[in-house]
Amino acid sequence: MSQKPLTVLLAGPRGFCAGVDRAIEIVEKSIEKFGAPVYVRHEIVHNKYVVDELRGKGAVFVEELDEVPEGSPVVFSAHGVPKSVPAEAEQRNMIHVDATCPLVTKVHVDARRHDKDGQTVILIGHAGHPEVVGTLGQLSAGKIVLVENIEQVSSLTIADPDNLAFVTQTTLSVDDTAEIVRALQKRFPNIEAPRKEDICYATTNRQAAVKTLAPDCDAFIVIGAPNSSNSNRLAEVAQATGCPKSILIERAADLDMEWVDGAETLGITAGASAPELLVQELIAALKEEFDVTVREVAVTTEDVHFSLPRTLTA
């Protein structure tokens, strides 16, 4: 029986960003330099495939520093950590290597600068996400307040509303965040905004690519982990901008091919922590069921590279 035709529109850019590339390289280089095991606090990036690969090379993933033997090398994940974490590592004589994405560090630096200037900081983000935990942990309690949605803006109690600044998580929905910012600026007209956008280039570009493709697609698949913020946002963006039938899956094996049946055009993208190999795995699986034509649609190209910490290059 002949296969049904399926046009796959591959969003570009997709997949690994410069912060994820750097974080993975930091773990690999740390293993080379210090020898296995190298401990990694939290999943280095939110992707099971990546974590399993690094585990195979000698990384040991832990949630907290007290699980790491004294004096052992430990890497902090790309999401960033509260200030108390490197302080504790110092105290316990650990060799610690920071894989925090430089774009997250920029948000930390801004939050601390506002605090030094006597401003209360509002962080727009999702409670419990490790990046948010890390950014909140840059300042003492009460100096930084988390806002997750527009509704929370109206119920905020701020002692000095004219002495206020905001920062954001780097992987939020561009459109949802703009709405929250508008609500904040309406309620607190003197609130200081970041000098440079906190939502990172990778999040912005991946969402822009999905927005471009979604109206032409009958279904949309995002490859990414269920706990990956930027991957979840990509599926939401596809749903909100023209393709209601959009899902997030970790790997091809998670896809029920019947879900694709009936679609003539399928959009595919991958979150910033998902390797390209998993996209190609999905396309190979689709080719077993459908007569697939792949068309790459890139809205922009990226040329961002972050250098490694000096501990690993010296």
CB closer to ligand SF4 out of 202 and 266: 202
In angstroms, give the least distance from the CB of 85 to ligand SF4. Answer: 18
| DSSP string across 41-94 | ES-SSS-HHHHHHHHHHTEEEESSGGGSPTT-EEEE-TT---THHHHHHHHTT-
Nearest residue (beta carbon) to ligand SF4:
19
Nearest by Cα to 311 from 71, 98, 92, 160: 98
Angle between helices 102-116 and 18-34 (to 10 degrees): 100
First to last CA, the chain: 61
Provide the minimum distance between the beta carbon of 271 and ligand SF4 in the complex, in angstroms, as a whole number.
Answer: 8
Cβ nearer to ligand SF4, comparing 202 with 225:
202
Query: With respect to ligand SF4, which residue has the nearer C-beta, 169 or 265?
Result: 169
Question: 135 or 171: whose CB is closer to ligand SF4?
Answer: 171
Full strand arrangement of the beta sheet holding 73-76: 59-62, 38-41, 73-76, 95-98
Give the C-alpha separation, 91 to 27, whole Å.
Answer: 22
What letter represents residue 98's amino acid? D
Residue 151 Cβ, how far from ligand SF4 at the closest point, in Å? 26
Instruction: Kindly state the smallest distance separating residue 92's Cβ from ligand SF4, in Å.
Output: 27
Return d(Cα 262, Cα 243) in angstroms, integer: 14
Both tokens assigned to 160: 């000095």
Bridge partners, 267 (sequence order):
9, 220
Q: What does the DSSP 8-state code read for residue 276?
A: H
Q: Is 131 a catalytic residue?
A: yes
Q: Which is nearer to ligand SF4, 156 or 312 (CB)?
A: 312
Q: Is the CB of 85 or the CB of 107 nearer to ligand SF4? A: 107
Smallest distance, ligand SF4 to C-beta of residue 166, A? 17
Output the smallest distance, CB 139 to ligand SF4, in A.
19
CB 314 within 8 A of CB 30: no
What distance in Å separates the CA atoms of residue 130 and residue 152, rounded to the nearest whole number?
Answer: 21
Which of 67, 90, 131, 289 is labelled catalytic? 131
Coil, helix or strand for 248? strand
Interface with ligand SF4 by CB under 6 A: which residues?
17-20, 78, 101, 103-104, 170-171, 200, 202-203, 230, 272
Q: Which residues are catalytically annotated?
A: 131
